Amino acid sequence: MQSLNEIITDEQTGKPTIKGTYVTTDIVIDKLADGATIEEIAQTLRITKDQIKAVLKYTLQVRQARAIYLYANNTDSRYNS
């Protein structure tokens, strides 16, 4: 279940974190970028594959929302002539 309800904002750091853990979305994305597999990350961080998928889904939605905001507000120099 790739629910976005798995991702919460940690009260201490203000960073998006997997619910019930201290694992931030940044940690998961960094490990994937470094070449770790989903299985390796799940085992190392003691999280489920579904939680990793929720991180990916969350990250994609944040990126899409940011792109829409930047385009709508024309604040990104890539869209200015």
Kindly report, residue by residue over 14-57, the tens digit of the pLDDT.
889 998 899 999 999 999 999 999 999 999 999 999 999 999 99
Task: State the pLDDT at residue 1.
Answer: 46
pLDDT above 80 (res 4): no
Q: Any idea what the CATH number is for the domain that residue 36 is in?
A: 1.10.10
Based on the structure, what is the number of domains in the chain? 1
Closest by CA position to 24, among listed 45, 2, 50: 45
pLDDT number for residue 3: 64
The whole domain housing 73 covers 4-79
Written as six digits, the tokens of 24 are 């931030």
Give the count of beta carbons closer than 10 Å to the beta carbon of residue 21: 15
Strands 7-9 and 16-18: antiparallel
